[in-house]
Structure 1
Amino acid sequence: MNLRQWGRDLGLGVRFAFAGGREGWMRAVLTAVGVGLGVALLLLSTALPNALSTRQEREKARQDYSFMEQPPAKADNTVVIADTGTTFRGDDVRGREVEPEGPRAPLPPGVDAWPAKGDMLVSPALKKLLTSDEGKLLRERVPYRITGTIGESGLIGSHELAYYAGASGLGKLVDGPNVTRIDKFGDPDTSPEETDPVLALLNLVVIVMLLMPVAVFIAAAVRFGGERRDRRLAALRLVGADGGMARRVAAGEAMAGALLGLVLGTGFFLIGRQAAGSVEVMGISVWPSYLNPTPLLATLVAVAVPAAAVLVTLFALRGVVIEPLGVVRSAKPSRRRLWWRLLLPVVGLALLYPMLGQGRSNGDFNQYLVVGGVLLLLVGVTALLPWLVERCVARLGSGSVSWQLAVRRLQLSSGTAARMVNGVAVAVAAAIALQMLFAGVDDQYTKDSAQDLSRAQMQVRVPDGIPLAATARKFTETKGVRKVISLGENYVSSLSFDSESGSSLEAELTVGDCGALREVAKLPSCRDGDVFALDGYGYSNDGPKLNKPGKKLYVASSVPGKSGEVTWTVPAGVIKGHSIKSLTGVERGGFLITPAALPENLAPMIGGQLYLSIDESVPDAYEYARNTAAKVNPLVDPINWASTTTSHKFDAIRTGLLVGAICVLALIGASLLVSQLEQLRERRKLLSSLVAFGTRRRTLGMSVLWQTAIPIALGLLLASVVGLTLGAVLLKMTGTPVGVDWASVLSMTGCGAAVVLLVTLLSLPPLMRLMRPDGLRTE
């Protein structure tokens, strides 16, 4: 058989698809919609690497901190940057105060000219927020006049909240926290970042498991209209075509639908790409220009989808005998063989076996073995499910009329029913395995913060030089703040900081009222004017050695731009106290001083921390606290306490999984609905006949529900087994003890069942219309 003959037969199939009248067009369009949805998601997947890369590049291009040990000296090509970022109702706001020091001061991407003092440039999303009623509280915190917007090249996403505000007097704060001087923007460090093998494995498995259901749906979509197609092929044999030609013509019809699906999929993708700029998912947003598929991957999709349509059709017809008077499939089909279906997951496990116990200490995981093993296990679901459905429905017997109608339909076409739920089963199996893997390694990337949330929920660092007591009073008067614990901090040294001889002994110095000091120590008694020496060591072992009445200790100023030190003499009558875990989970050492015992010359040297107890019943209580902090000093950014801290990369992968899972679930629902409508359309005359003979519509509706419920129940059972197996293997590969979170397994299977139930309910109105008597009319 030469290529010319193949081309003629495939071309004839394409002509049949588009020149077959209304019936042919309907079939081609339904196939194209199913394929198009999958193609759109595939194109989105090929565009995601470019989107993530572009986000990282733009983040690096605007980095504004010095990479040198010492910031550059003031010159006409430098600018002072102060980080005034904040958080508003859970969303990060990237804020910068800027002071250019000369006409050649560098500009970040997206900015054409620096704003004047009191003015600011904002991102479009922040401008929209600040000019709305929802942004009233944030406006108090960002009181600058809006004079322009930041260009797209200076933002990592369309929903990013960011601003640059003009300021003055920042030069004297350069040596302090959150303020630096730079002469250029961007990250010059191009050295490759060290990768964590487990995170790399997570990333790879997430990509494979999200794309696999898409491929399954595309393969199922090209087989829409299979029964009607078989009758047409019999007619083709009647006019002289042989069996091979009939199969190639059928493949051409499928290819026509796939090619139309490519066009629709490209349209869906372009619409979705444009819409992507107006949505934010899990805190991630992109510009439409980010979503440009890699040319090589886009070409691969364009070639692979029509080729897959041809191959899937030829594979589906391999056991079908097409004769001039009919198709043998109308008789009882031969029983499906099990051995080769079991071979797929067994080979998949064999590929993953060499990496069991590898963990993160034995190098990177073999990408080819991981991809091959995971793919074969998931493909095994699609191969085993038709066999499982066939064997189970063959044993189902008597019941209600709706049950019998459903069972008989499944017995005659169990393969069609299995194809409908294959994608759901694959998605659920992948979700269960991923959930097990994420839950297993979670404790490696999520740590307890040691912060005591029962005593405080927010921490505020008060810059040195700002009166701590006055600041604490402002927070006490703030709406939504229940209690303020104020602790001043510095360090004492046995030697002057200018001394070059000997080694110095150092200890902590903590200032606070009796209530605050009892948060860090157990005190026998306390009144204003007392001084305490703690038996704990804190960050050093020197505290007890310095507790000698009359000993002179030195305290240095840590105020940016202000040098000097003062002497503090250890007074007589120092009371001993016992260290306990403080609010931050650590024990302090050194000395505790009440305000009345603090020498006047030492007070300016004390910076400190405020720990706020927030009344969460007050709406926007955290925002009121942040507004107070901004009034104290724009550089003050309160920190929300959390019981745990999570690795940024691990959290990013998990976020990517959730975003991808939402897209795949949407595809599952849409493709299942299209498939269900195609099944009902093919059975229009049968449904109308049953109604004409007196079958109740409710009975037919229930039969459709049973036809969906039985395969999905079997599919979810198989998915659970494969998902648990794959999850256990992946955990063994990472060197993590195997554990099953049954609540997560049930939630994953419940999501799959809910999608199918929703699709079934949405298909009931079309079902009612198809049961009308005019469905019996023919021409």
Structure 2
Amino acid sequence: MSMGQWAKDLGMGVRFAFAGGREGWVRALLTAVGVGLGVALLLLTTAFPSMQSVRHEREEARTDFTYNGEVVKQSDASLLVANVDTEFRDKDIRGRALEPEGPRAPLPPGVEKFPAEGEMVASPALKRLLESDGAKLLRERLPERVVGTIGESGLIGSQELAFFRGGDDLASRIDGGRVTRIDKFGDPEPSEQQTDPVLLLLVLVVFVVLLMPVAVFIAAAVRFGGERRDRRLAALRLVGSDGWMTRRIAAGEALAGAVLGLGFGTVFFLIGRQIAGTVEVFDVSVFPSYLNPSPVLALLVGLAVPAAAVLVTLFAMRGVVIEPLGVVRTAKPSRRRLWWRLLLPIGGLAMLYPMIGQGRDNGTFNEYLVIGGVLLLLIGVTTLLPWVVEAVVARLGSGGVAWQLAVRRLQLSSGTAARMVNGVAVAVAGAIALQMLFAGVESQYTEDSAFDTERAQMQVSMSSDVQLDQAVARFRETKGVQKVYAYGEGYLGDRPVEPELSAEMTVGDCAALREAAKLPSCQDGDIFYVTKPGDDEYTQKLRKQPGLKLYLDPVYDGEVKRKEILWTVPRNMKEAKSREDMSGRERSGFLITPKALPAADAPALTGQAYFKLDGTVPDVYDRVRTTAAAVDPLAYPMTWYSTSTSNRYGTIRTGLFVGAVCVMALIGASLLVSQLEQLRDRKKLLSSLVAFGTRRRTLSLSVLWQTAIPIALGLVLASAVGMTLGAVLLKMTSTPIVVDWTSVLSMTGVAAGIVLAVTLFSLPPLMRLMRPDGLRTE
């Protein structure tokens, strides 16, 4: 067969699709919509690497801290930067205070000029938030006047909350951490992180699981209206075409729908890209310009989708005999064979088996085996489901009229029903496997934070020039604060500059000190030395040398010079036993009550306050943050959590959630299109049944049963395959197998809910199709 004949036959099919009357172009339109939804998600996926890369580049470009330990000297090109990050109702807000030291100081990306003291440049999202009615506490915390907005180049997402405000006297507060001096933005020595084999496995499986349902939906979409199309093709046999020519013409019709679907998909993608710039999913937002598909991957999608449409159509028609006087499809259909359908999941397990027990100790996982094995297992769902549906519905017995109508329809066209729910089953199987894998390895990337969240729920770090007792008084007046434990913290050294030996100093009232050590007795004016197992000998040596002069807050390499402050080791100190404080660490050195500290020594100490809060008070955390900002503009509030999660693991998990939302949206939309196509195909049958007296409620219930039975079987199969795949992936990571039943039930519940919603949305069109004019024919 020459290529010219192929092209001629495919071209004839394309003409039939668009010039074959209302029937042809309606089918082409439905196919295009179904394919377009899948293409849009594929284009979004091809744009994902670009999005991640741009976000990372933007984050790197605005880096404002030095990591190499070198101190930038003051000049007309230097800039003082203070980290003033905050939170508002669990939303992170990136904040920086800026103080240029000369006319050539570097501007941060996205900012046209430095804000003066009392002024602020905010991101568009933060500006909208500050102007909203529910942001009173945040406005009190950020009272500066907004004089401009941060441009796109200075933000990593359209919904990011960020601001730059004018700073004052930041030079005296340089500590090499939260306040520093820079002469340019950007990380001069970006480091490459080592790839964790388990995280790489997670990424690979996430991509396969999210993309596989898309491919299944596209394959199902190009077969819309197959029964009516085959009946029309019988006329071609009557005028002399052979069987293969007829199949190629049918493939041409599918090709037309697929090519049109590429156009629809591009439009859907462009619309979705604009919408993506206005929403935030799991605290992730993007600008539309971030979502630029890779040209190579986009070209691959453009070639693969039409080619798949032709191949799927030819494969689907292998068992259809189109004769001049009709189509032989269901006149004693042969039973589906099971043996070859089992080969796919067995082959997938065989590909994954060599990596069982590898964990992260034996190098990275073989990417090709992982992708191939997971693909074969998920494709196995699509091949096994038609057999399962056929085998089960063939044995279903009598029931009500609606049940009998549904069962008979499924017995006649179980393959069509299975195709409709294939994508759902694949998505659920992959999601269950991923949930099991994430739940299994979560403990490897999540650790206890050591914070005692029963004793305190927040911590605020304050500058050394803050009057700690006055700050504590204001915190205690804050609504929702039950207890405040405040400490002045510093270090003692044997030399004023670069000391070789140092010891801790902690100042606090008796109640606060009892949270940090076991005291024999305590009253204001006491001084204690702390002993603990394995304590350093220096502290024990110092307590035996009363009158020894030590330097408080010594200067280390890279820090600005400060006034020397001497502290004398006192006599008659009391011994205190160490204990874990609220932050989970054991203090050492000296514990001092306020009256025992000379007034001249106070400026050398930084303030730390720990809070026990009443969680029933609305916005109690934001109330504390607002008070902290009033006490010290450079205060650093921190909310405590009992566990902490690896950033990279958290990023992958967030990516899964975002992708799952997109796939679930595609599932719902594609199912609705598929349902409408099937109803349209049965319009005459439905009208005939109504004309013979069948109640509309009965027909509506039969449509529900026709969807519910295959989806129930699909979810059972998906659960079995998903748990099998999840168990294998856990064995590959050397993790004990634990079935996360909550995730299994939640995923099946979500899928069932989507099917129910699609059925409800299809009821209004169903009612219209039951009208008497559905009997009209031409």
TM over 0.5: yes
Q: Deviations over 1:71-106 (max 9, x none)?
A: 221112221111112111211211111122222222
Query: Which residue number corresponds to residue 391 of structure 1?
Result: 391
Instruction: Find the residue that maps to 1:75 and give its secondary structure.
Output: coil
Query: Which residue number corresponds to residue 648 of structure 1?
Result: 647
When the two structures are superposed, what TM-score results if normalisation uses the length of structure 1? 0.96
Correspondence 1:446-461 to 2 at 5 A: 446-461=446-461
Q: Deviations over 1:126-182 (max 9, x none)?
A: 222222323332222222222222211111111111222222322232345311111
- Aligned-pair distance for 1:38? 0.6
Residue 768 of structure 2 aligns with an amino acid whose one-letter code is R
- Aligned-pair distance for 1:561? 4.8
Contact 1:34 / 1:221 at 8 angstroms: preserved in 2?
yes
Query: Which residue number corresponds to residue 527 of structure 1?
Result: 523
Return the alpha-carbon distance in structure 1 between the equivalents of residues 519 and 102 of structure 2.
56
Return the alpha-carbon distance in structure 1 between the equivalents of residues 22 and 745 of structure 2.
44
Q: Deviations over 1:467-504 (max 9, x none)?
A: 222211121112232221112222345x444698xx74
Query: Which residue number corresponds to residue 583 of structure 2?
Result: 584
Instruction: Find the residue that maps to 2:357 and give its secondary structure.
Output: coil
- Aligned-pair distance for 1:539? 6.8
Correspondence 1:35-434 to 2 at 5 A: 35-434=35-434
- Aligned-pair distance for 1:668? 0.2
Query: Which residue number corresponds to residue 767 of structure 1?
Result: 766
Return the alpha-carbon distance in structure 1 between the equivalents of residues 498 and 127 of structure 2.
54
Contact 1:175 / 1:561 at 8 angstroms: preserved in 2?
no
Residue 278 of structure 1 aligns with an amino acid whose one-letter code is T
Return the alpha-carbon distance in structure 2 between the equivalents of residues 465 and 60 of structure 1.
32
Contact 1:490 / 1:555 at 8 angstroms: preserved in 2?
no
Residue range with higher mean Cα deviation, 557-566 or 746-755: 557-566
- Aligned-pair distance for 1:616? 2.2
- Aligned-pair distance for 1:454? 1.3
Residue 140 of structure 1 aligns with an amino acid whose one-letter code is E
Return the alpha-carbon distance in structure 2 between the equivalents of residues 130 and 2 of structure 1.
69
Residue range with higher mean Cα deviation, 540-549 or 619-628: 540-549
Query: Which residue number corresponds to residue 14 of structure 2?
Result: 14
Q: Deviations over 1:333-364 (max 9, x none)?
A: 11111111111111111111121111112222
Cα gap change, 1:539 to 1:66, in 2 (>3 Å) = farther
Cα gap change, 1:496 to 1:186, in 2 (>3 Å) = closer
Return the alpha-carbon distance in structure 1 between the equivalents of residues 190 and 599 of structure 2.
51
Query: Which residue number corresponds to residue 615 of structure 2?
Result: 616
Return the alpha-carbon distance in structure 2 between the equivalents of residues 539 and 340 of structure 1.
70
- Aligned-pair distance for 1:551? 5.5
Contact 2:492 / 2:553 at 8 angstroms: preserved in 1?
no
Residue 298 of structure 2 aligns with an amino acid whose one-letter code is A
Return the alpha-carbon distance in structure 2 between the equivalents of residues 71 and 478 of structure 1.
39
Correspondence 1:471-620 to 2 at 5 A: 471-493=471-493, 495-497=494-496, 504=501, 506-537=502-533, 540=536, 542-548=538-544, 550=546, 552=548, 554-557=550-553, 561-572=561-572, 574-620=573-619
Size of the aligned set, in residue pairs, is 774
Percent of aligned pairs with the same amino acid: 67
Cα gap change, 1:463 to 1:176, in 2 (>3 Å) = farther
- Aligned-pair distance for 1:395? 1.1
Query: Which residue number corresponds to residue 748 of structure 1?
Result: 747
Cα gap change, 1:537 to 1:628, in 2 (>3 Å) = farther
Cα gap change, 1:114 to 1:614, in 2 (>3 Å) = same
Return the alpha-carbon distance in structure 2 between the equivalents of residues 273 and 376 of structure 1.
32
Contact 1:688 / 1:773 at 8 angstroms: preserved in 2?
yes
Cα gap change, 1:499 to 1:285, in 2 (>3 Å) = closer
CA RMSD of aligned residues (A): 1.8
- Aligned-pair distance for 1:14? 0.7
Residue 725 of structure 2 aligns with an amino acid whose one-letter code is L
Contact 1:558 / 1:605 at 8 angstroms: preserved in 2?
no
When the two structures are superposed, what TM-score results if normalisation uses the length of structure 2? 0.96
- Aligned-pair distance for 1:293? 0.7
Residue range with higher mean Cα deviation, 578-587 or 685-694: 578-587
Cα gap change, 1:358 to 1:135, in 2 (>3 Å) = same
- Aligned-pair distance for 1:552? 2.7
Return the alpha-carbon distance in structure 1 between the equivalents of residues 575 and 188 of structure 2.
52
Contact 1:579 / 1:589 at 8 angstroms: preserved in 2?
yes
Return the alpha-carbon distance in structure 2 between the equivalents of residues 555 and 393 of structure 1.
86
Residue 370 of structure 1 aligns with an amino acid whose one-letter code is V
Return the alpha-carbon distance in structure 2 between the equivalents of residues 228 and 539 of structure 1.
85
Contact 1:436 / 1:739 at 8 angstroms: preserved in 2?
yes
Q: Deviations over 1:610-653 (max 9, x none)?
A: 00122222222211211221122222120000011011111111
Correspondence 1:666-681 to 2 at 5 A: 666-681=665-680
Residue segments in structure 1 that go unaligned for 5+ positions in a row: none
Q: Deviations over 1:694-740 (max 9, x none)?
A: 21222111111111111111111110111111111111111111111
Residue range with higher mean Cα deviation, 453-462 or 172-181: 172-181
Query: Which residue number corresponds to residue 25 of structure 1?
Result: 25
Cα gap change, 1:605 to 1:173, in 2 (>3 Å) = closer
Q: Deviations over 1:233-284 (max 9, x none)?
A: 2121111110001100111111111111111111111111111111111111
Cα gap change, 1:746 to 1:558, in 2 (>3 Å) = farther
Return the alpha-carbon distance in structure 1 between the equivalents of residues 83 and 554 of structure 2.
19
Cα gap change, 1:67 to 1:590, in 2 (>3 Å) = closer
Return the alpha-carbon distance in structure 1 between the equivalents of residues 470 and 536 of structure 2.
31
